[in-house]
Chain A
Amino acid sequence: MAQKTYRAAINEALKLEMRRDPRVIVLGEDVAGGRGGSAGVEEAWGGPFGMTRGLIKEFGAERVLDTPITEAAFIGAAAGAAMTGLRPVAEIMFVDFSGVCFDQIMNQIAKIRYMFGGKAKLPLVIRTLYGAGFRAGSQHSQCLYPIYTHLPGLKVAIPSNPYDAKGLLISAIRDDDPVMFFEHKAILGMKSEVPDEAYEIPFGKAKIVREGADVTVVALGRMVHMAERAAAALAKDEISCEVIDPRTTSPLDTDAILSSVRKTGRLVAVDEAYPRCNMATDIVALASQECWRDLKAAPRMVSPPHVSVPFAASLEDLYIPNADAVAAAVRLTVSG
């Protein structure tokens, strides 16, 4: 099996699904790039971060559509296309820009099936970059997946590694429901083993990243790696962590989380999103209600402070939850 980057895994999933199903189209700003430019190239960028590279060459401009800078229109168009026979994979460059098309996602895409009494299907995927660590400032660094997880009708995937990214994206494209698909911009170059062929990873199925006995650590996206690092450090002190990556927040694998918490009696939830009403609060609330008698210590949440993402390196480094913060929270559950 070959080592592939997160970026390559996404790219491969898109290519495989476009080969498999002619109804799959890709659209977004500069997903090819170079339209009308004086160099006359067919593909200048292949996506601002290269995830859609090579698609236009293989599938042509009819299935790989650059868009003007007009998120409300092209995300709405993707929704309409999904209702009427296509299976679009739309790209919102940074999830922060989803503010521009929030109505289309919140009031249209998420609700259409339900409002129409189950008559409509929206096989639509919205891929988007999220997360801090790029010195990109307050409007290019947010997570925002809790907002989308909040909305009934949307599915939400947050792959933490290349293998999951490919399998989850393939599942997302084959799914008849709309999926918000979050790719962390700071791990695009990360490598792991990724098979060449197509495979699906089911939504709502958590991955036990590391088995352990003392504390359950639930983490998402890039934070999975912080949790793993913390777990490795804590193991030296004989504290055994079970690290769980839910992989999708909607649906959420509550069984996997709850059975782990029942086993360990302790929970730390790690989330890079703003701390109020995020996935950590959601998971802690769930476990508190369902595992009350099994808990040996108060569950803890590790999240950034309730501030926007700062630009300055010194502040952004403080902002992002790191392995030390996770380890400190774990220690508190063990000692407290």
Chain B
Amino acid sequence: MQQSRDDLCRAYRTMRLIREFDERLHIEFATGEIPGFVHLYAGEEAVAAGICAHLADRDNIASTHRGHGHCIAKGCDTKAMMAEIYGRASGLCGGKGGSMHIADLSKGMMGANGIVGAGTALVCGAALSAKTLGTGAVAVAFTGDGGSNQGTVFESMNLASVWKLPAIFVFENNGYGEASAAEWALAGGDIVRRAAAFDMPGHQVDGNDYFAVWEAMRQAVERARAGHGPSLIECRMTRYYGHFEGDTQNYRAKDEVETLRRTADCLDAFRTRVTAAGLVDAAALDALDAAAKADIEAAIAFAKASPLPPAAALHDDVYVAY
């Protein structure tokens, strides 16, 4: 299926923005100014972009600990995201959440999550709301290869299938859960084979190929919106940085990431494909690169200039009413 020039530019912009966001965070984290745990999404941009290209604000996603890419692709404001990561009052969650808990429900972003596997069940609920209220919306759970082994994930896939929910289970198989390889931790090797067990279609795609992700998601969304139930999409790609910022990655061969960056980068592949096909010219992409750089520069400046949350904020938000 053909995408318009605008669609393609939007997709590239999303991917570049994610890349800039996380590569800049990698640099800033090293200065010691960013608190807590930060898990970078760089290398996996085509997945967030290809999946979320099909979603509107009313469609919900549940993210993971590695959530920056999902947030950006779902339309979260990069300034407010950055401020959240810095723990500032102007952050998307007022500085109370941090990198692992960025959320913006107005954008259908149900939150990054510190508990591996938890999002799949939340997504069953979001899909149930959509189905019950007849909104026509879908709900998407992102889970890693490591997370794919959690019981909650199996239970959620079964539930979604039994209830015929408009849910989509996206697995980001980047080959590792922390320091353990999927090759070891994931029985059967492929996540996609689990789809059959829960009676849903399964797609396995190259997660560096925006177009492959986009097409699998197109089919899954069509099925979900038609009321035929859930689908599973397994995307295979790699993360460019450690599990968390500070991880030495001694479990990966020295040149593994460099080789993949050189040969299988999703942004490079996208650029080559659309320019060769004459769909978008290189100059337009260059302009998007520059715009993304400026956007992130502004986000960093905004975050650093923002005040810390005031003391009173400690006590609010526990309940709606006291």
Q: Report which A residues bind B (CB closer than 8 A).
A: 29-30, 33-41, 44-45, 48, 66, 68-73, 96-97, 99-100, 134-140, 305-308, 310-315, 318-319
Contact = CB atoms under 8 A, between A and B. Distances in A.
A31 B147 CA distance: 17
With a 10 A CB-CB cut-off, give which of B180, B181, B314 has the most chain A CB atoms: B180
B105 interface: no
A68 B97 contact: no
A41 B251 contact: yes
A35 B308 CA distance: 41
B124 to A, nearest CB: 17
A61 to B, nearest CB: 11
Contacts of A313: 35, 87, 308
Contacts of A73: 151
A77 to B, nearest CB: 13
Contact of B251 (A37, A312, A319): A37
Contacts, number: 161
B37 interface: yes
A36 B178 contact: no
A194 B100 CA distance: 37
B287 interface: no
Contacts of B88: 312
Interface stretch (B109-117, B199-207, B272-280): B109-117
B96 interface: yes
Given A40-B253, A68-B180, A312-B88, 7 more contacts: A36-B181, A66-B180, A68-B146, A100-B115, A137-B114, A310-B314, A318-B311
A256 B277 CA distance: 80
A53 B178 CA distance: 16
Interface string B167-200: 0000000001111111111100000000000000
A97 B115 contact: yes
Nearest to A140: B114
Nearest to B118: A100
Contact of A314 (B151, B179, B308, B317): B308
22 contacts: A30-B180, A34-B179, A34-B180, A35-B180, A35-B184, A37-B181, A38-B251, A45-B179, A68-B185, A69-B177, A71-B150, A73-B151, A97-B116, A134-B36, A135-B87, A137-B98, A310-B309, A310-B314, A312-B89, A312-B95, A313-B35, A314-B310
B35 A37 contact: no
A311 B87 CA distance: 6
B181 A35 contact: yes
B252 interface: yes
Contact of B100 (A39, A66, A137, A308): A137
A311 B98 contact: yes
Contacts of B250: 34, 39, 41, 44
Contacts of B252: 37-39
A287 B248 CA distance: 50
B182 A136 contact: no
Contacts of B115: 96-97, 99-100, 139
Contact of A69 (B35, B36, B113, B116): B116
A40 B252 CA distance: 8
A37 B88 CA distance: 37
B251 A100 contact: no
Nearest to B96: A310
Given A44-B250, A99-B115, A139-B115, A29 B180 contact: yes
A25 B274 CA distance: 55
B152 interface: yes
B226 interface: no
A34 B179 CA distance: 5
Contact of A70 (B96, B150, B254, B318): B150
A69 B101 contact: no
B29 to A, nearest CB: 12
B150 A69 contact: yes
Contacts of B313: 310, 312, 315
A39 B253 contact: yes
B129 interface: no
Contacts of A35: 180-181, 184-185
Contacts of B186: 68
A36 B256 CA distance: 14
B158 interface: no
B315 interface: yes
Contacts of A96: 114-115
Nearest to A71: B150
B304 to A, nearest CB: 14
Contacts of A314: 87, 95, 308-311
A312 B308 contact: yes
A38 to B, nearest CB: 4
B179 A311 contact: no
Given A307-B314, A315-B309, A139 B180 contact: no
Nearest to B34: A135
A100 B117 CA distance: 9
A34 B308 CA distance: 38
Interface string B242-276: 00000000111110100000000000000000000
A29 B152 CA distance: 17
Contacts of B310: 314
Contacts of B253: 38-40
Contacts of B91: 312
A96 B177 CA distance: 18
B151 to A, nearest CB: 5
A308 B150 CA distance: 25
Nearest to A72: B151
Contacts of B117: 69, 100
Contact of A308 (B35, B179, B182, B318): B318
Nearest to B149: A68
